[in-house]
Amino acid sequence: MVKPSIIAIDGPAASGKSTLGERLAQRIGYLFFDTGILYRAVTWAALQKLGRVDQEYEVSTLSEKVNIDVRPPSVADGRSADVCIDGVDVTWEIRNSDVDANVSQVSAYPRVRQAMTLQQRRIGQRGGVVMVGRDIGTVVFPEAGLKIYLVASVEERASRRYHEMINRGVAADYNQILAALRKRDEYDSGRKLAPLKPAEDAIVLDSEGLTIEQVVERALALIEKA
Among 135, 144, 147, 223, binds ligand CDP (CB under 6 A): 135
Count of other CB atoms within 10 angstroms of residue 226: 16
* Selection from 159, 179, 184 nearest residue 108 by Cα: 184
60 binds ligand CDP per the rule CB under 6 A: no
Q: Is there binding between residue 19 and ligand CDP (CB under 6 A)?
A: no
Rounded to a whole number of angstroms, the minimum distance from the CB of residue 1 to ligand CDP is 28
Q: Does 195 bind ligand CDP (CB under 6 A)?
A: no
Residue 93 DSSP label: G
Residue whose Cβ sits closest to ligand CDP: 36
Q: Which of 4, 21, 124, 133 binds ligand CDP (CB under 6 A)?
A: 133
- What does each C-alpha distance from 191 to 24, 95, 109, 195 come to in angstroms? 29, 22, 9, 5
For ligand CDP, which residue of 30, 32, 39, 149 counts as binding (CB under 6 A)? Answer: 39
Judged by CB under 6 A, the stretch of 21-29, 32-40, 69-77, 202-210 that binds ligand CDP is 32-40
Using CB under 6 A as the binding criterion, the count of chain residues that bind ligand CDP stands at 15
C-alpha–C-alpha distance, residues 14 and 23, integer Å: 16
Q: Are 16 and 148 in contact (CB under 8 A)?
A: no
β-pairing verdict for 68-71 and 82-85:
antiparallel
- Cβ of residue 89: shortest distance to ligand CDP, in angstroms? 17
What does the alpha-carbon distance between residue 213 and residue 58 come to, in Å, rounded to a whole number?
43
124/181 Cα distance (integer angstroms):
28
Of 35 and 91, nearer to ligand CDP (C-beta) is 35
Q: Is 83 in the site for ligand CDP (CB under 6 A)?
A: no
CB 33 within 8 A of CB 129: yes
Q: Bridge partners of 149?
A: 10, 204
| Window 112-131: residues binding ligand CDP (CB under 6 A) | none
**What is the rounded CA–CA span in Å between residue 52 and residue 23?**
35
207 part of the interface to ligand CDP, by CB under 6 A = no
Chosen residue from 59, 91, 134, 177 binding ligand CDP by CB under 6 A: 134
Task: Report which residue type is found at 161.
Answer: R
Shortest reach from residue 2's CB to ligand CDP, in Å: 26
Residues that bind ligand CDP (CB under 6 A): 13-14, 18, 35-36, 39-40, 103-104, 107, 133-135, 184, 188
